Chain A
Amino acid sequence: MNAADAPGRERGQTLRRRLAYTLLLGYALLMFVPFAWTVITSFKTLPDATRLTVIPDPITLGAWEYTLSRLDPSVVVLFANSVFIAAAVTVTNVAFGSLAGYAFARLRFPGRDALFLIVLATLMIPDQLRVVPVYILFSSVGLTVGAGQYVAVIFVTAVSATSIFLLRQYFLTIPRELEEAARIDGAGFFTTFWRVMLPLATPALAAVTILAFQGAWNGLFWPAVFLSPDSDHWTLPLGLTLFRLTGGQGTNWPPLMATVVIATIPILLLYIVFQRYFVEGIAAAGVKG
Chain B
Amino acid sequence: MRRRAPAHRRPEAIAAYCMVAVPMLIFLLLNIGTFLYAAYISVWNWNIRSGPVDFVGLRNFERILGDPIFQIAIRNSIYYTVVWVPLTMAVGLFLAVVVNQKIRGQTFFRASFYFPAIASSAAITTLWIFLVAPDGFFNEVRGALGLNPLFQLFGFGPHQNWIGDRRTALNSVIVLNAWTTSGTFMLFYLASLQAISREVYEAAAIDGANAWQAFWRITFPLLRPAHFFVATVGMIGGLQLFDQAYIAGSPNGDPVNALMTIVLYLYNALFVQIRPGYAAAVGIVLFVIMFGATLVQRRLFGGTPAS
- Contact yes or no, A220 B163, CB < 8 A: no
In the complex the two chains form, is B246's CB within 8 Å of A279's CB? no
Residues of B near A28 (CB, < 8 A) are 108-109, 112-113
- Residues A245 and B140 in contact, CB atoms below 8 Å apart: no
Please pick, from B5, B20, B109, B113, the residue contacting A104 in the complex, using a CB distance under 8 A: B20
| Any A CB within 8 A of the CB of B158 | no
Task: Determine the chain A residues whose CB is within 8 A of the CB of B248 once the complex forms.
Answer: 245
The residues in B between 1 and 48 inclusive whose CB is less than 8 angstroms from any CB of A are 3-5, 9, 11-13, 15-17, 19-20, 22-24, 26-28, 30-35, 37-38, 41, 46, 48
Q: What is the minimal beta-carbon distance from B257 to any residue of chain A, in angstroms?
A: 14
| Pair count A-B, CB < 8 A | 293
Query: Which residue, of A217, A218, A219, has the highest number of chain B Cβ atoms within 10 A?
Result: A218
A102 near B19: Cβ-Cβ < 8 Å:
yes
Contact with A along B270-292 (1 / 0, CB 8 A): 11000010011011101100110
**Do A264 and B20 form a contact, CB below 8 Å, given A24-B98, A279-B187, A283-B191?**
no
**Residues of the A chain whose Cβ atoms lie less than 8 Å from the Cβ of B188:** 282-283, 286, 289
Distance between A227 CB and nearest chain B CB, rounded to angstroms:
12
- Complex CA gap A238/B5 in Å reads 50
Place the interface of chain B in its size category.
35 or more
Interface residues in A, total, Cβ within 8 A = 95
State whether the Cβ of A128 lies closer than 8 Å to any Cβ in chain B: yes
Any B CB within 8 A of the CB of A189: yes
> How would residues 45 to 66 of chain B score, 1 for a CB under 8 Å from any chain A CB and 0 otherwise?
0101001000000000000000
B88 interfacial contact with A, CB 8 Å = no
* Residues of A that sit less than 8 Å from B by CB: 21, 24, 28-29, 31-32, 34-35, 37-38, 41, 50-52, 96-97, 99-100, 102-104, 107-110, 112, 115, 118-119, 121-122, 124-137, 139, 155-156, 158-159, 161, 164, 188-190, 193, 214, 217-221, 224-225, 228, 236-238, 240-241, 243, 245-249, 251, 253, 256-257, 260, 263-264, 267-268, 271, 275, 278-279, 282-284, 286-287, 289
